Amino acid sequence: MTKPLKIAIAGLGTVGGGIVKMVQKHGALLEKRAGKAIEITAVSARSRGKDRGVDLSGYAWEDNPVALSQRDDVDLVIEVMGGEDGPAKACVETALQNGKHVVTANKAMLALHGQSMAEMAENSGVALRYEAAVAGGIPIVKALTEGLAGNGITRVMGVMNGTCNYILTEMERTGAAYADVLKDAQALGYAEADPSVDVGGIDAAHKLSLLSSVAFGTKVDFASVQIEGIERVSLADIKNARDMGFSIKLLGVSRMNADGLEQRMQPCLVPANSPLGQLDGVSNMVVVDGDFIGQTVYQGPGAGEGPTASAILGDVMDIARGLVIPVFGQPAAGLSNSEASRAGSDAAYYLRFSLQDQAGVLATLATILGNFGVSINRMHQYSHGGQSAPLVIVTHATSRTALDQALAEISALPASLAAPIALRIETL
Amino acid sequence: MTKPLKIAIAGLGTVGGGIVKMVQKHGALLEKRAGKAIEITAVSARSRGKDRGVDLSGYAWEDNPVALSQRDDVDLVIEVMGGEDGPAKACVETALQNGKHVVTANKAMLALHGQSMAEMAENSGVALRYEAAVAGGIPIVKALTEGLAGNGITRVMGVMNGTCNYILTEMERTGAAYADVLKDAQALGYAEADPSVDVGGIDAAHKLSLLSSVAFGTKVDFASVQIEGIERVSLADIKNARDMGFSIKLLGVSRMNADGLEQRMQPCLVPANSPLGQLDGVSNMVVVDGDFIGQTVYQGPGAGEGPTASAILGDVMDIARGLVIPVFGQPAAGLSNSEASRAGSDAAYYLRFSLQDQAGVLATLATILGNFGVSINRMHQYSHGGQSAPLVIVTHATSRTALDQALAEISALPASLAAPIALRIETL
């Protein structure tokens, strides 16, 4: 038998513990599949004494995760501490510089430092893998970089934050308001005490920026992702969308336009009867369009101990089998510095206005939209008691730039009672 | 730059032509991604003169596909001729014996000869890959053998024949009978002139037998797949199922039971609001349950020039990058000779009886079911004019053996007008 692959785990929280369980449970199976044993040699975490429900007695302990990356008896370091800088970054960089493979679940770190880390890994001839950082257990990085490697990718999109999808699904199912559902989600452990990274779209945008790089051969450019969270999605919008056959999802979309790379993470309307529209609860889903393959869809658990450990182990197994490919699917040094697409792609939009109920307002609004070339596909004025007339419009495909100009002008009308809501309708 | 990977294509039908187009269109991209050029050096097909809409002038021509496998300027042979024996088998075996990698879309060949070919490949230290043979463009073999390689797989199931799914979907959508929809499907090119391999479940069973091997580490055992086609699915059954919240799909299920490997390819009821229940048209879908990851779902085009070429190129790219793993995910010599599960797993069943409308028949039937321990969950007797009373029963989970005994006894009743229909309800 070949020499074992010796691995170290930095971070023994839920995910780190899951990895230990998986290696301990499936040792013989992993060895058969990889052609060599996967052997945990050392671990590191903040508190050594804590009971984690797994037997760590056979592994060396390091208080400092960076020390794992310097051990002679370690071939591969798994980083599951989290944190975009600090110890996680130091641990990963030290490992790469010392010629050790790295597998990480750290989306924030890679969204910020992915390019430099990829260059480091490729210079050292080692693998840097991050399946668990993108869509939990779903092997989507693998599908894009390997399974679909013969295709030109035309679009990647998906629901990549289970917390947001749970909240939106529950709002639609129960008719409860955003704040109430968020509170429930926190009680159930689906949302953090400080939920802003999730509901603000940041976490999902980190993931999207990695997928963009893989899909389009561009340097990771998190700063250019247009991010909008779900905090402003109202029950009224969810209900109106449903009436017209749509669901609202926090949807990431990445696409290469003539003027550059478009990356958006924002609440969108998608057809309610599409796979994305039907995605309930904390699941994730990624939809990939390729020029030869057409459309493929990948669905699975987006987080949690087992799914994340599964994604990590998948990467470890590849490395054990000798697969070392460029971090983003082609050499990091050759990734392009794409401009961010200013115009973005045209789309139809769902618009909701709160207007004073007075003669002539509708005509003024329609005129302004028309002046900017925004044409109306459907319109519905809801019956109302007070002086505010809720008006919903679905446009034909339009440029966002023109739409924003029109909306600014409408906002400035004396009859406008609140800023208009504009949600993109993504076609499938 | 590294030396190119020199490939040969045996078979220049739709798929072979698609591969040529893909390599010609994406040459530079493939080279960047693989770290070496992918170079077609030779091709073979039945008729040299035929216009295939692609420029073949740069490639050597062989009339005999076996000759491709003997050329010194070929590292990898793509077999897309089809046919489970004859030239396809000779071409593949010669390539493997000559130390050349093989990529094939030939499910029938692998279902019958997969074990011996895998041993040949592994003895020669080359890859034998077949992503295109299983679910068209969906990278499901890759997901199972690599992405989920850390998991114990507990079930693999899916819709793996687009023709059947198209027919069942159209029957449900239009209310047209099986024979009429089949005729339309043939006119549209979705079904062959002789559709028996598709509608009889054979094609999908070939695919399932390969997935079983990958999932459970067993030798490919096509002969043990329990196969039932869709020819007997009636509009009445589709309508009854829909009324109860189910769709009927030709579903492949593979699962390891205490008494052996269960492999079934048969029309089943699945919840209409599940991903499988919502799968329309010619798409394929595979659902995988793993002990750590939970459930993941993979959906995409199950056939056609582009999707099949995409799957082939994905395999070629892996080989170009140096990935050579065991054919079924672990060494062929160590794959187990699992017994076929006789009992199978218990399940609820949809039953439809045609009985003479006379006093006491229902009591007799219920008694027989009860005698064999088959308990009734739901029952519906449809209003009827003639003397035949259509009776639909949904059972609680029961063993198929007991059910078959009960049905045999009921069939033998003088009041039984036709053989009962029994369709398994697969839980998700």
Nearest chain B CA: its distance from A3 CA (Å): 17
Q: Which residues of A touch B295 (CB under 8 A)?
A: 300-301
How far apart are the C-alpha atoms of A221 and A223, rounded to whole Å? Answer: 5
Q: Which residues of A touch B294 (CB under 8 A)?
A: 137, 300-301, 304, 306-307
pLDDT band for position B191 (cuts 50, 70, 90):
confident
Residues A151, B26: C-beta atoms closer than 8 Å: yes
Distance of CA A281 to the CA centre of its chain: 15
Q: In this structure, what token pair is assigned to residue B301? A: 């085009």
Nearest chain A CA: its distance from B376 CA (Å): 31
Nearest chain B CA: its distance from A356 CA (Å): 42
Question: Which of B29, B298, B329 faces A33 most closely, judged by CB atoms?
Answer: B329
Q: Are strands A60-62 and A283-290 parallel, antiparallel or unpaired?
A: unpaired
Report whether pLDDT(A315) > 60. yes
SS3 track for chain A:
CCCCEEEEEECCCHHHHHHHHHHHHHHHHHHHHHCCCEEEEEEECCCCCCCCCCCCCCCEEECCHHHHCCCCCCCEEEECCCCCCHHHHHHHHHHHHCCCEEEECCHHHHHHHHHHHHHHHHHHCCCEECCHHHHCCCCHHHHHHHHCCCCCEEEEEEECCHHHHHHHHHHHHHCCCHHHHHHHHHHCCCCCCCCHHHHCCHHHHHHHHHHHHHHHCECCCHHHCEECCCCCCCHHHHHHHHHCCEEEEEEEEEEEECCEEEEEEEEEEEECCCCCCCCCCCEEEEEEEECCCEEEEEEEECCCHHHHHHHHHHHHHHHHCCCCCCCCCCCHHHCECCCECCCCCCEEEEEEEEEECCCCHHHHHHHHHHHCCCCEEEEEECCCCCCEEEEEEEECCECHHHHHHHHHHHHCCCCEEEEEEEEEECCC
Residues B310, A142: C-beta atoms closer than 8 Å: no
Q: What is the pLDDT of residue B1?
A: 57
Q: Which residues of B touch A292 (CB under 8 A)?
A: 18, 22, 306-307, 309-310, 313
How far apart are the C-alpha atoms of A330 and B91, rounded to whole Å? Answer: 33
Q: Which residues of B touch A147 (CB under 8 A)?
A: 131, 139, 142-143, 311, 314
Q: Which residues of B touch A301 (CB under 8 A)?
A: 293-296
Q: Which residues of B touch A9 (CB under 8 A)?
A: none
Percent share of chain A, pLDDT over 70: 99
Let me know: does B300 contact B284? Beta carbons within 8 Å. yes
Q: What is the pLDDT of residue B197?
A: 96
B327: nearest CA partner in chain A: A33
Mutate to test the interface with A, among B20, B26, B146 (most CBs of A within 10 A): B146
Mutate to test the interface with B, among A287, A293, A321 (most CBs of B within 10 A): A293
Let me know: does B226 contact B257? Beta carbons within 8 Å. no
Let me know: does A144 contact A206? Beta carbons within 8 Å. no
Residues B22, A306: C-beta atoms closer than 8 Å: no
In tens, the pLDDT along B362-380 reads 999 999 999 999 999 999 9
A147: nearest CA partner in chain B: B314
Question: Which of A139, A148, A317 faces B314 most closely, judged by CB atoms?
Answer: A148
Residues B300, A296: C-beta atoms closer than 8 Å: yes
Q: Are strands B76-79 and B5-10 parallel, antiparallel or unpaired?
A: parallel
Q: Which H helix or E strand runs over B223?
A: none
Nearest chain B CA: its distance from A253 CA (Å): 19
Let me know: does B395 contact B349? Beta carbons within 8 Å. yes
Of B207, B225, B156, B214, nearest to B335 by C-alpha is B214
A34: nearest CA partner in chain B: B330
B215: nearest CA partner in chain A: A33
Write the CB contacts of B180 (distance below 8 Å, at least 6 apart in sequence): none
Mutate to test the interface with B, among A19, A151, A282 (most CBs of B within 10 A): A151
pLDDT band for position B389 (cuts 50, 70, 90):
confident
Q: Which residues of A touch B333 (CB under 8 A)?
A: none
Q: Which residues of B touch A299 (CB under 8 A)?
A: 275, 296-299
B318: nearest CA partner in chain A: A146
In tens, the pLDDT along B114-139 reads 999 999 999 999 999 999 999 999 99
pLDDT band for position B388 (cuts 50, 70, 90):
confident
Mutate to test the interface with A, among B7, B21, B23, B33 (most CBs of A within 10 A): B33
Q: Which residues of A touch B312 (CB under 8 A)?
A: 150
Nearest chain B CA: its distance from A383 CA (Å): 33
B149: nearest CA partner in chain A: A314
Across chain B, mean pLDDT equals 95
How far apart are the C-alpha atoms of B425 and B77, rounded to whole Å? Answer: 42
Domain A5-104 has CATH 3.90.180.10: no
Q: Given A21, A207, A219, A249, which residue is catalytic?
A: A207
Residues A149, B290: C-beta atoms closer than 8 Å: no
In tens, the pLDDT along A233-243 reads 999 999 999 99
Measured CA to CA in angstroms, residue B84 lies from A22, B93, B111, B135, B373 at distances of 39, 12, 9, 18, 43
Distance of CA B4 to the CA centre of its chain: 34
Distance of CA A225 to the CA centre of its chain: 11
pLDDT band for position B108 (cuts 50, 70, 90):
very high
Q: What dotted CATH number matches A140-301?
A: 3.30.360.10
Amino acid at the residue B331? P
Q: In this structure, what token pair is assigned to residue A406? A: 């029109």
Q: What is the pLDDT of residue B342?
A: 82
Write the CB contacts of B97 (distance below 8 Å, at least 6 apart in sequence): B120, B124
Q: In this structure, what token pair is assigned to residue B335? A: 């794959």
In tens, the pLDDT along A43-68 reads 999 999 899 999 999 999 999 999 99
Question: Which of A30, A317, A322 faces B322 most closely, judged by CB atoms?
Answer: A322
Residues B296, A293: C-beta atoms closer than 8 Å: no
Let me know: does A104 contact A19? Beta carbons within 8 Å. no
Nearest chain A CA: its distance from B70 CA (Å): 26
Report whether pLDDT(A276) > 90. yes
The helix/strand/coil state of B11 is: coil
Q: What is the pLDDT of residue B59?
A: 98
Angle between helices B162-174 and B178-187 (to 10 degrees): 120
Report whether pLDDT(B2) > 90. no
Q: What dotted CATH number matches B348-425?
A: 3.30.70.260
Let me know: does A15 contact A309? Beta carbons within 8 Å. yes
Task: Output Rg (C-alpha) for chain B, integer angstroms.
Answer: 24
Report whether pLDDT(A1) > 60. no
Mean pLDDT over residues B91-109, rounded?
98
Q: Which residues of B touch A296 (CB under 8 A)?
A: 137-139, 298-301
In this prediction, does ipTM exceed 0.85? yes
Nearest chain B CA: its distance from A45 CA (Å): 23
Residues B35, A217: C-beta atoms closer than 8 Å: no
Q: Give me the phi and psi of B153, to 5 degrees please.
A: -85, 135
Mutate to test the interface with A, among B292, B297, B299 (most CBs of A within 10 A): B292
Question: Which of B147, B313, B331 faces A142 most closely, judged by CB atoms?
Answer: B147
**What burial letters (b/e) apply to B206-218, b meaning 16+ CB within 10 Å?**
bbbbbbbbbbbbb
In tens, the pLDDT along A381-428 reads 877 667 777 899 999 999 999 999 999 999 999 999 999 999 999 988
Report whether pLDDT(B263) > 80. yes
- Domains of chain A by residue range: 5-104, 140-301, 348-425
Q: Given B142, B207, B219, B249, which residue is catalytic?
A: B207
Q: In this structure, what token pair is assigned to residue A322? A: 């000798």
Q: Which H helix or E strand runs over B283?
A: strand B283-290
Q: Are strands A76-79 and A5-10 parallel, antiparallel or unpaired?
A: parallel
Q: pTM for this structure?
A: 0.96
Across chain A, mean pLDDT equals 95
Measured CA to CA in angstroms, residue B235 lies from A400, B177, B281, B349 at distances of 48, 6, 17, 18
Q: In this structure, what token pair is assigned to residue B158? A: 């899916």
Nearest chain B CA: its distance from A359 CA (Å): 46
Nearest chain A CA: its distance from B300 CA (Å): 4
Report whether pLDDT(B66) > 90. yes
How far apart are the C-alpha atoms of B20 and B361, rounded to whole Å? Answer: 64
How far apart are the C-alpha atoms of A202 and B121, rounded to whole Å? Answer: 47
Q: Which residues of B touch A307 (CB under 8 A)?
A: 292-294
Of B90, B154, B152, nearest to B117 by C-alpha is B90
Let me know: does A302 contact A135? Beta carbons within 8 Å. yes
* Active-site annotation holds for A25: no
